[in-house]
Amino acid sequence: MGRNSVDKLKIWYDPEGDYLEIAFSKKSGEFRSTSSKNVMLKVDSFGQMIGFAIMNLSQVELTPMEIELPLDELKSLLKQYGVLTEV
């Protein structure tokens, strides 16, 4: 998939709800739990990751947070957006 065929990256923060959402696609999807109580993974109808959300962002510990995300899909998306040059 070429760079021009990728949906725009959407980053949205609601300060009142203390909610951050990052979407890689405009596709509709559903949120699924992850190993972190504050992070939800958004997937499309095929189970492909299309974004994620972090709830209670200001309360998230400053230490590195470990969550389980499909790493191969995330690397591929970052490459499509030009963030990574090699996958």
What domain range is 17 assigned to? 3-80
In a domain, 85, yes or no: no
| Rounded average pLDDT over 75-84 | 68
pLDDT at position 70 over 90: no
Q: Chain-wide mean pLDDT for the chain?
A: 78
Number of structural domains (the chain) is 1
Burial degree of 41 (CB within 10 A; 0-12, 13-18, 19+): buried
pLDDT in the model for residue 14: 92
Structure tokens at 38: 């504050």
Each residue's pLDDT tens digit, 31-47:
999 888 888 999 999 98
Instruction: Please indicate, yes or no, if residue 60 is contained in any of the structural domains.
Output: yes
Query: Whole-prediction pTM value?
Result: 0.63
